[in-house]
Structure 1
Amino acid sequence: MKKKNIILAFVLVIATVLSACSNYQFKPTTSFEISDFTMTDHRNEEVTLDSLKGEPWLAMFIFTSCTTICSPMTQNMKLVQDEIEKKGLEQYKIVAFSVDPDYDTPERLTEYLSRHNPLNESKWHMLTGYDQKFIEQLAINSFKTPVRASVTDNQVIHADTFFLVDEKGVAVKNYSGTGQGTDGVQYETIASDMEALINERLK
């Protein structure tokens, strides 16, 4: 009898955990409509806002000659993707806007991404093909985040934030502090938010 009670308690715990996971509710915290754009990715393919619509996507701002947060940010995004892939999700994209487009050619972006060796490279779009003023305006107007070229060196000032964009092209949540290392990065939360958006779209 005691053994049966233990088994029953174990089953109830598992059911509770599974129920909590299935009932995860995504709560948007922003509502920033992304402006139209036409860019070139690291495969030399055209990417537009319209081509990204239909699936949710994660966005970040980086550049390949960055000496501070960009490489940790990209590594953290790779780890976020690992969590997304663990969930078996397929209908998503990852977008990285270069904030140094004059230097960041598709070839340089390809080499940069290859150093991080993402689990599923096909989901990534490393974007360039615009001028510095355009990306600074896109960042502040669409994502409410500053991008500013330094006047003293070749570095570009930008935030270490990830942005979650829904299938309609609206930035619905951001995650700050993603570029300072692995401590505190909300890998599972970001993946769960992505899963919730995908599930909502499929209803």
Structure 2
Amino acid sequence: MNKRAVLGLMLAIILPLAGYYIVKSYGESATQMPRRYFFDSVVTSTNNGKQTIDTIWHQASNISLTNQLGKQVTFDDLKGKILVIDFFFTRCPSICPRMAKAMKRLQNSFINSNDSIVQFISLSIDPEHDSVTQLRNFANRYTSNHDSWWFVTGNKKQIYDFALNEIKASVADVNVDTAFIHTENFFLLDKNRVVRGWYNGLDTLAQARLVRDIPLLMLEKNKKKTFKEFLKELFGRS
């Protein structure tokens, strides 16, 4: 095993554990939790009939897709899971293979727990070309766990609406062309599908922050979780 692989393995183990100790030792108020980014305005009515305008954190909507196994899937199928999302297309000759390798490292960081804790999703921005067969061939190059990492295609308008209006990809990356979305960011959504951060998928430091932030959101789900329970959830250990 070369030095880079050893370093990657150490980071995969140390960063989630460090996140646990930081939160448990100092509390959420003293820990920089992944922030929430976008809110919606809602109109509410009081008992006397008056209407007031309130704000709630924006929750990304559900979307129906087809994954690399030919299975119809939705985000509603993933209730209770943390989501890591990126955008790609199988014919991409530039950043997509590099981002897929980075996503593979992320998946490996949570290899024993991600079936129940984290879902990785790569959304095709070229659904006309990216058939189930194309997606499966691409996916096979990077993962053997097709359950916890979906490569998905679907209706192009729905995918682009999701990228631009639901997780605000063009806000995270000002270079996004609305006619052909191609961003190098990973998007982190909590269990309520609220955007909690975006991270440059080609930057190892940004990837390290993402590996740190995922267990923080895991712990946010249950702040009373014991260290033993956290280990079991994270690494599948008893």
TM-score tier (shorter)? 0.7 to 0.9
What corresponds to 1:190 in structure 2? 210
Q: Secondary structure at the match of 1:57?
A: strand
Superposed counterparts of 1:100-139, under 5 Å: 100-117=126-143, 120-130=145-155, 132-139=156-163
Q: Does 1:42 align with 2:68?
A: yes
Aligned residues: 174
Amino acid of the residue matched to residue 207 of structure 2? Y
Shift of 1:49: 2.1
Percentage of matched positions with identical amino acids: 28
Residue aligning to 2:21: 22
**Which residue of structure 1 aligns with residue 87 of structure 2?**
61
**Is residue 199 of structure 1 aligned with residue 199 of structure 2?**
no
Using the size of structure 2 for normalisation, the TM-score is 0.65
* Runs (5+) with no aligned partner, structure 2: 1-16, 24-30, 39-57, 171-175, 224-238
Residues 59 and 186 of structure 1: is their aligned pair in 2 closer, same or farther, counting only changes over 3 Å? same
Whether contact under 8 Å (2:36, 2:195) holds in the other structure is no
**Secondary structure in 2 matching 1:73:** helix
C-alpha contact 2:19 2:212 (8 A) present in aligned 1: no
Deviation sequence 1:96-134 (CA, Å, 0-9, x none): 11000111111111110111235x44211111121x332
Aligned to 2:157, the other structure's residue is in SS state: helix
CA-CA distance at 1:46 after TM superposition: 1.6
Deviating more after overlay: 120-129 vs 50-59 = 120-129
Distance in 1 between the 2:19 and 2:119 partners?
Answer: 26
Aligned-residue Cα RMSD (Å) equals 2.4
Per-residue CA distance 1:28-59 (angstroms, 9 max, x = gap): 25244212211111111121121122110100
The DSSP-based 3-state class of the residue aligned with 1:97 is strand
Aligned partners of 1:20, 1:172: CA distance in 2, in Å?
16
C-alpha distance in 1 between matches for 2:92 and 2:169: 18
Tell which has more relative contact order, 1 or 2 (C-alpha 8 A, sep 6+).
1
Task: Mark the runs of 5 or more structure 1 residues left unpaired by the alignment.
Answer: 1-17, 151-155
Contact 1:136 1:148 in 2 (8 A): no
Within 1, Cα distance between the matches of 2:118 and 2:18? 24
Give how far 1:184 is off.
3.3
Q: Distance in 2 between matches of 1:19 and 1:197?
A: 13
- The answer to whether the 8 A contact 1:79-1:187 is kept is no
